[in-house]
Structure 1
Amino acid sequence: MQLIGAHITNYRSVEDSGRFTIEPDVTCLVGKNESGKTAVLQSIYRCNPVESSKRFDEVVDFPARLTSKRKQWKADERIPVVQLTFRFDDGEIEKIEEDLGVGVLESPEFTVTAGYRNEARTFDLKINEGVVVEHLRKPLDLPSAGAAAVGAATTIPELLAALENLEDATSGSSAIVQRIRDWRRSSLMLHIVDQYASAWMPRFVYFDDYDIMCGKVSIPDLIRRRDADSLSRRDRALLSLLNMASVDLRDFQTTDRHERLIRELENSSNVISDEVFEYWSQNDQLEVQLEILQPEQDAQPPLNEGPILQVRVLNRRHRASVPFDERSRGFVWFFSFLAYFTELEEAAEQDLILLLDEPGLSLHGRAQEDLLRLIDERLAPKHQVLYTTHSPFLVSADHLHRVRTVIDQDKVGTKVSAEIFKADEDTIFPLLTAMGIEMTQTMFIGEHNLLLEGPSDLIYLDVLTDVVESTGGAGLDPHWVKIPVGGAGKLSTFVSLLGANRLNIAVLADSSTKDVGAIRRLRDNGQLRANGLIQVSEFVGTGDADIEDLFETDFYLELVNKAYSKELSSRITSADLNPRDPRIVRQIEGYFQQHGLGKFNHYKPAALLLREQAALLQKISSVTVSRATQLFARLNSLLT
């Protein structure tokens, strides 16, 4: 099961966040201090926490500015706070359909709502009751008199009534009656909720930068707080380490076992340390040690009661150790989080979703990159991760689609959005910095920047420039710095980020690019000049076109046939393609799919043209040259 969306209302600074999508692997909430990032994570966490948590408290948590609005709700009426949207995966749907019939779920998605005044969550699923009725009665063999009434039922209550009114009940009919009666309130919806939606819903794990493991604890005090269920997450991190070693706190009160316990604990700490050092590149000379001490003279409560368990970190390079919570907070955070989470992960019976609140605040930039690796390589393959940050080093320039901006706006409260161009300068600053770091390492940015979807676009523009100039025309002006952004979905992000630096930006986009709408909104907001969006269809004469459509069909097919000569059993001709589709690339993609050739790689024909341009340039038609000339004239007119 996967979390795919969230909507937060009436919680602290969040009056109405707006609905925002959640990525299937990692979602990064970026915002400045006091923007409401923590409120968003905490409200989600309370919907289904992995451990006991505070309930929503309308007096404390309801936005103070809206107090009069709160009093308008009836005393027994729930005030919604968090609505989460989940999606069943294919395996889960298959199990539900085995139980209730194929097609019982009209949608794999469902919502869960939690809020004030009513601790019970509500579930909203779209189900087809008729499918279940047919599934239940299909195996029945009833006398004709009873079969008519049962066959006329279209709902579960009607089916139940018909089966209970049978004069000659069979074992099969009685079993179905009992099965329905076993459902909570004999409700199909409640049965699906209890058996599947609620039972399979992932549990949320919340961890923030202050939840580092304690360096010194009084064992008797820790036992009392554990038994009273008043442990902090710092305590739980330490207990997780003990549980991994199969050590109980009361074992420490037996003095003759101390040495054995310490050995078991150190073995477990070494397991965690080994995992930490897979991602912690700052210092590999650290070692976690544990000691059993007696209380110091004049020690303050609770450390005046022994035995005392102390955790220390030894730096082998300097041959010195310090108490655990006095060590560099970066390593301490890594170790504490992995100790806490590893034990939870091993014991979990449901999926876990990690909510990391400002992780790695005290980490060096490179160490924050280590943390990103930990998230991508260790956590995300198994669990969804949502984390908050205002650090540019925790924003992955390769995964900008993960970013959701969090902004606290006057009179409307915290808003969460995937459209980063809505953000103010302070909020977007970490993104700008992250992109700046990436760009300085990977490309040169000039004053005039032409954004392209991918490297094949760059090849075609360079080749067509040579062709046009060989005929006496004007190719693409060399003042343009051509930037392939690595996918259509990144175009609007790059426009927003580069435009914020007051650079001259133009975008060459395929007409069908999904990001065109967002780019137009950027243009309307003044972040892209009025004529800065150029679509290939303007020069091809069709409503939908890719850059490949600048070429004649037969010429582009020659590139494809040569590039895929080993994969094709026979040459592709125009007669093999769908004439109703105006885009040559989509026609070829359809051909590849129809003939089981795998995914068509747009770059291979472009690479072939680059390698063999000496032989191929003379085959480019005058129609293509005319289209390219118009395109270059339009682009060059944008230079200032």
Structure 2
Amino acid sequence: MQLTGAHVTYYRSVEDSGEFAIEPDVTCLVGKNESGKTAVLQAIFRSNPVEADKKFDEIVDFPSRHTRLRKGWNADQMIPVVKLSFRMGDDEIEKIEEDLGEGAVTDPNVVYTRGYRDARGRMSVQVDEKAVLDHLRKDLDLSSAAATAIGAATTIEELFAAITSLDEVPSALQQVAERIGGWRNHSARLHVVDKHVFPAMPKFVYFADYDTMPGKVSIPDLMRRRAQDELKRGEHALLSLLSMAGAKLEDFLATDNHERLTRELENASNLISDEVFEYWSQNNELEVQLKILPPEQNAQPPLHEGPILEVRVHNHRHRASVPFDERSRGFVWFFSFLAYFNQIEEDAEQDLILLLDEPGLSLHGRAQEDLLRLIDDRLAPKHQVLYTTHSPFLVSPDHLDRVRTVVDQDKVGTKVSAEIFKADEDTIFPLLTAMGIDMTQTLFIGEHNLLLEGPSDLIYLDVLTDVVEKGGQRGLDPRWVKIPIGGAGKLSTFVSLLGANKLNVAVLVDSSTKDVSAVKRLRENGQLGANGLVQISEVTGTADADIEDLFETDFYLDLVNLAYAKELTTPLTAADLNAHDPRVVRQIESYFQQNSLGKFNHYRPAAVLVREQATLLPKISSVTVSRAVQLFARLNGLLP
């Protein structure tokens, strides 16, 4: 299951965060100190934690200025805190249909709500009861009387009542009745929730900047607090390291095997260190060492009780070691997180979603870039990641579409939004810094700037301008400075953050771009000209279109076949594609995915068109030229 959205209410500084979308890989919550980032992350974590489950405490966690509102709720009424939207995968839908029949689930989207006075939470899932009924009655060999009674049932409850009312119940019907009887409230929907959805719901893993392994612990003290469920997350990281070594705390109480245990622990720490150094570029001459020691004389509790497990970091360059928790906090965080997470990942029986609260807060800027690589290369391919930050080095300029701003507004509390142009200057400062002065200079190279999603858009506009002008008609006005910004998710960011209201700026977008609504709001707010948003569908006459849809399908397929001649065993034709989809690119992406051809690269067909213009340009149809002329007229009309 994939988390697609979240909504937090009545939790500490958050009164109503507003519903915000979660990216399928990485989502970055950016905000000032005390803006409520941690509250949002902790509320999500508590909804389904990987650790021992903890209920929301309405005395401690409910916003204090709304105490009267809390007391106004009925004593047995749930006060919602977190509403999470998930999307079930094809494999999860398939398991449900194996159980209850094809079409049993009508919508892959489910909503989970958890709050105060609610131990488990509530799940909303759409189930087609008729499809389940048909599945339960399928292939039953019944007498005419029984078939009539069973066939008259229109609900699961009626079916169960009809079976139990028969004088003689055939074994096949008895099995159906037993199945229904095992469902909560005889409900197919609740059965889907209990058997399929809840067990598949991802667990949340929370790790903060201060959740680091201790440098020295008393084994007996650690055992006692573990039994009382009082361990800190950093101490759990230490236990994870022990588990990787196949060791238990009890093993250290014996006096005859410390050497063997020390060696096993060092082997485990070396495994973690090797993974750390894949992403840690600051210093690769560090080594984690573990020692079993007696308590020091006059040591303060709890270190007065041995044996003592000491973790140290040895620096080969300086030939010296220091206690683990006195080493660079950046390295300590890297090592602690991977030790903690690796064991959880190994033991997990369901998907995990990582919640990293201010990760790498003390890291150097370059080391924070290492952390981003760790997130993108090690974590995101397997798990969704949500992290909070106010550091510009932890905001990737290549992925501004991941950003959600977190702002603590007067009288309304913490708000989370993907519409970053609504945030104040302090909140968006990390974004401005991340974009860098070079990027801002790139945009301010002309008085009239046309923002494009990618370099292939620029190629197509240039080529079509040549074709149109050779035919005696007007192409794209040369006063336009065409700027590919590297992704649709950056459109609203570039328009708003870089002062588009002071320039003549137009935006050319595919009709399917998810950022179109945000760009439209920029236009409504006066940050973009009234007609500055131009969609490809305006000239194709379809509801959904990419710039590639300016071309005839057969011509564009020729470009694809030339670009992917080595990968395609046979040339791609229109018959191979889903004609019901209006976008030719999406048709091809689907074909590539279904035939394990990898990810379709939009740029490769455009590059072919540039390289082989002499043979390809004469094949461009009059329909394409007409569309191009119409598009250029629309864009040129925005110039003074």
Using the size of structure 1 for normalisation, the TM-score is: 0.88
Aligned to 1:277: 277
Look up the match of 1:519.
519
Q: 1:227 to 1:478 in 2, by over 3 A?
A: same
Shift of 1:626: 6.2
CA distance in 1, matches of 2:471, 2:108: 58
- The answer for the alignment partner of 2:169 in structure 1 is 169
Measure, in 2, the Cα distance between the counterparts of 1:625 and 1:112.
47
2:453 equivalent in structure 1: 453
- In the alignment, which residue of structure 1 is the partner of 2:428? 428
Q: What corresponds to 2:115 in structure 1?
A: 115
After superposing the two structures, state which structure 1 stretch, 145-154 or 621-630, moved more: 621-630
Between 117-126 and 353-362, report the one with greater CA deviation. 117-126
Matched residue of 1:154: which SS? coil
The answer as to 2:246 corresponding to 1:246 is yes
Q: Which residue of 1 aligns with 2:70?
A: 70
Residue 302 of structure 1 corresponds to: 302
The letter for the 1-side match of 2:414 is T
Q: Following TM superposition, by how much is the alpha carbon of 1:201 offset from its aligned partner in structure 2, in angstroms?
A: 1.5
Q: How far 1:612 moved relative to its partner?
A: 5.0
1:284-332 deviations in Å (ceiling 9; x for gaps): 1000001122222222111111111110000101111000000001110
One-letter amino acid matched to 2:397: A
Residue 223 (str. 1) matches residue 226 (str. 2)? no
Q: Matched residues in 1 for 2:263 and 2:154: separation? A: 66
Task: Report the Cα distance in structure 1 between the residues aligned to 2:472 and 2:571, rounded to whole angstroms.
Answer: 38
Residues 285 and 502 (structure 1 numbering): CA distance in 2 closer, same or farther, change over 3 Å?
farther
Distance 1:196 1:578 in 2: 32
3-state SS of paired residue (1:107): coil
Cα distance between partner residues in 2 of 1:572 and 1:181: 53
Residue 127 of structure 1, CA deviation: 1.1
The reply to whether residue 125 of structure 1 matches residue 128 of structure 2 is no
- The SS at the match of 2:35 is coil
Contact 1:510 / 1:547 at 8 angstroms: preserved in 2? yes
Distance 1:529-1:264 versus aligned 2 partners, 3 A rule: same
Distance 1:502 1:225, change over 3 A: farther
2:82 partner SS: strand
* 1:407 to 1:537, Cα distance in 2 relative to 1, 3 A: same
- Code of the residue aligned with 2:445 in structure 1: it is G
Q: Distance in 1 between matches of 2:128 and 2:273?
A: 51
Shifted more, 599-608 versus 48-57: the winner is: 599-608
1:354–1:197 Cα change, 3 Å: same
Deviation readout 1:133-172 (Å, 9 max, x if unpaired): 2222324322222221122112222111111122112222
Alignment of 1:315-354 (within 5 A): 315-354=315-354
**Aligned pair in 2 of structure 1 residues 146, 64: CA closer, same or farther (>3 Å)?**
same
2:108 is paired with a residue of what secondary structure? strand
Judged with a 3 Å threshold, the aligned counterparts in structure 2 of structure 1 residues 226 and 403 are, in CA distance, closer, same or farther, namely same
Asked whether the 8 Å contact 1:550–1:628 carries over to 2, the reply is no
For 1:439 and 1:247, how far apart are their aligned partners in 2? 52
| CA shift in 2, pair 1:438/1:343, >3 Å | farther
TM-score by length of 2: 0.88
Stretch deviating more after TM superposition (490-499 or 81-90): 490-499
Map Cα deviations across residues 318-358 of structure 1 (whole Å, 9 max, x no partner).
11100000000111001000111111111111221111111
Quote the sequence identity (%). 68
Provide the secondary structure at the position in 1 that maps to 2:154: coil
Give the stretch that moved more between structures: 75-84 or 177-186: 177-186
In structure 2, the partner of 1:189 is 189
2:15 alignment counterpart? 15
Aligned partner of 2:207 in structure 1 is 207
Question: How much has 1:445 moved relative to structure 2?
Answer: 4.6
What does residue 55 of structure 1 align with? 55
- Partners of 1:18 and 1:416 within 8 A in 2: yes
For residues 191-229 of structure 1, give each alpha carbon's deviation from its aligned partner in whole angstroms, at most 9, with x where no partner exists: 222211122211111110010001011111111111111
Deviation at 1:521, TM superposition (A): 1.1
Which residue number in structure 2 is paired with residue 88 of structure 1?
88
Distance 2:171 2:420 in 1: 62
CA 1:545/1:219 → structure 2, altered by over 3 Å: closer, same or farther?
A: closer
Q: Is 135-144 or 97-106 further displaced after alignment? A: 135-144
Once the two structures are TM-superposed, the CA of residue 419 in structure 1 deviates from its matched residue by 2.2
SS at match of 1:46: helix
Q: 2:106·2:128 contact (CA, 8 Å) conserved in 1? A: yes
1:481: how far off? 3.7
C-alpha change, 1:474 and 1:232, in structure 2 (3 Å) is same
Higher deviation after alignment, 290-299 or 457-466: 457-466
Conserved? CA contact 2:539–2:627, under 8 Å: no
Contact 2:221 2:302 in 1 (8 A): yes
Note if contact 2:559-2:606 (Cα within 8 Å) is conserved in structure 1.
no
Question: Residues 493 and 257 from structure 1, CA distance in 2 versus in 1: closer, same or farther, beyond 3 angstroms?
Answer: same
Offset at 1:579? 13
Tell me: CA distance 1:476–1:325, structure 2 relative to 1, closer, same or farther (3 Å): same
How far, CA to CA, are the matches of 1:365 and 1:154 in structure 2? Answer: 64
**CA distance 1:550–1:9, change in 2 (3 Å):** closer
User: SS at 2:221's partner residue?
Assistant: helix
Q: What are the ranges of 5 or more consecutive residues in structure 1 without an aligned counterpart?
A: none
Structure 2, unmatched stretches of 5+, are: none
Determine helix, strand or coil for the equivalent of 2:198: helix
8 Å contact 2:537–2:544 — kept in the other structure?
yes
Contact 1:439 1:445 in 2 (8 A): no
Match of 2:24 in 1: 24
Q: Residue deviations 1:106-150, cap 9 Å, x none? A: 212222211112323112211122222222232432222222112
Partner of 1:263: 263
